[in-house]
Amino acid sequence: KDDLVVLGIETSCDDTAAAVVRGNGEILSQVVSSQADLLAKYGGVAPKMAEEAHSQVIDQVVQEALDKANLTARNLSAVAVTIGPGLSLCLRVGVRKARKLAGSFNLPIIGIHHMEAHCLVARLIERELEFPFMALLISGGHNLLILAHDLGHYIQLGTTIDDAIGEAYDKTAKWLGLDMSRSGGPALEELAQEGDAESIKFSTPMKQHRDCNFSYAGLKTQVRLAIGSHNINPEIPISSASSQDRRSRADIAASFQRVAVLHLEERCDRAIEWARKIEPSIKHLVVSGGVASNQYVRARLDHVVKKNNLQLVCPPPKLCTDNGVMVAWTGIEHFCMGRFDPPPPADEHEDYV
């Protein structure tokens, strides 16, 4: 296993990412090209535009990942690529590149589930992390609580019935007039530090539902109403807001964040109780996905985990947001279990994928 060298390619949403990882977990290179400027300009991901942006940089991103690792494609053991979930136009850019490379250099190819990659990257950074364990996966499109029994064997304890938490962060950030040239989450986290988290009493979602599912649509509506009642104009960027206006925005940001994360805490608490009935031996809760790079989220969940006598495994922020390392590593995990496809034909027609 240690001799394996796998290239991972990720293009499911707005980041074009590639990385080379060794079977022993050594990260040989890591490259991410983000479309933040496009996002800021158009206020969200437009699939056709995102596809074009991926196509423009994919060759360069993959080449850079190989160069930084001091390798050529010839030295690779396999190519891993995200095949879903995500925007199909965007996924296709990565898959096409992976198949072309694998075909030309006669390499096996491993199709990767994006959320499994967010989860399993935790096993790269914490080598003691053995199955079974629990995972809370929080990103722009997903909110998942799972019990990971074994590689490829996951029990879903909870999911979102509407929006994911990252989506709620992004919308709230937009409505508060934050700088969207990076994604909304980090900007909102920063502003929340200036605010009073108790100042606005948003209600916690799904209190009456005694399950492990999530909902963020109602909280989004509450935020929207608070923005109206505080006379905040989202068209006015926060940099031009008066000091009183800025304070109101910070209070909304902090109050939103407190409740958004409290919802995670409550669901995790219950999920741990459920998971222990199925699998009493669990020792770890993994928290991963873009929102897991948030320091407040990490601190609050660390508290929940300690209270329940578990250990928190939260990858460093760069490995929580979309990246190629998680894809390469998940590829290694599958490859070692014999789960991969044979090399595609070298002369494969591009339209095939």
> Contact with ligand KG4 (CB under 6 A): which of 322, 330, 332, 334?
322
Tokens encoding 89: 């136009």
DSSP E strand stretches across the chain: 5-10, 15-22, 27-34, 78-84, 109-113, 133-138, 143-150, 153-159, 284-288, 311-313
Question: Given the structure tokens 């996002």, which residue do they identify?
Answer: 39
Classify residue 342 by its DSSP letter: P
Is the CB of residue 8 less than 8 Å from the CB of residue 325?
Answer: yes
Tokens encoding 9: 């390619």
Site for Zn ion in 38-67 (CB under 5 A): none
Choose from ligand KG4, Zn ion, none: what does 35 bind? Cβ within 5-8 Å by kind.
none
Best CA proximity match to 184, nearest among 290, 323, 287: 290
Pairing verdict, β 133-138 and 27-34: unpaired
> Contact with ligand KG4 (CB under 6 A): which of 8, 108, 140, 343?
140
What minimum distance in Å lies between the beta carbon of 320 and Zn ion? 9
* Binding letters toward ligand KG4, positions 1-30, x by CB under 6 A: ------------x-----------------
Helix (H) or strand (E) holding 115: helix 114-125
What minimum distance in Å lies between the beta carbon of 144 and Zn ion? 11
Q: Which stretch binds Zn ion (CB under 5 A): 34-42, 136-144, 154-162, 249-257?
A: 136-144
Site for ligand KG4 in 200-219 (CB under 6 A): none
> Could you give the CA distance from residue 45 to residue 260 in angstroms, rounded to a whole number?
23
Site for ligand KG4 in 150-179 (CB under 6 A): 166, 169-170
Is the CB of residue 155 less than 8 Å from the CB of residue 149?
Answer: yes
What minimum distance in Å lies between the beta carbon of 309 and ligand KG4? 27
> Contact with ligand KG4 (CB under 6 A): which of 16, 30, 294, 330?
294
Q: Can residue 324 be called a binding residue for ligand KG4 (CB under 6 A)?
A: no
Q: Can residue 322 be called a binding residue for Zn ion (CB under 5 A)?
A: yes
Q: Where along the sequence are the contacts to ligand KG4 (CB under 6 A)?
A: 13, 139-141, 166, 169-170, 183-186, 189, 289-291, 293-294, 321-322
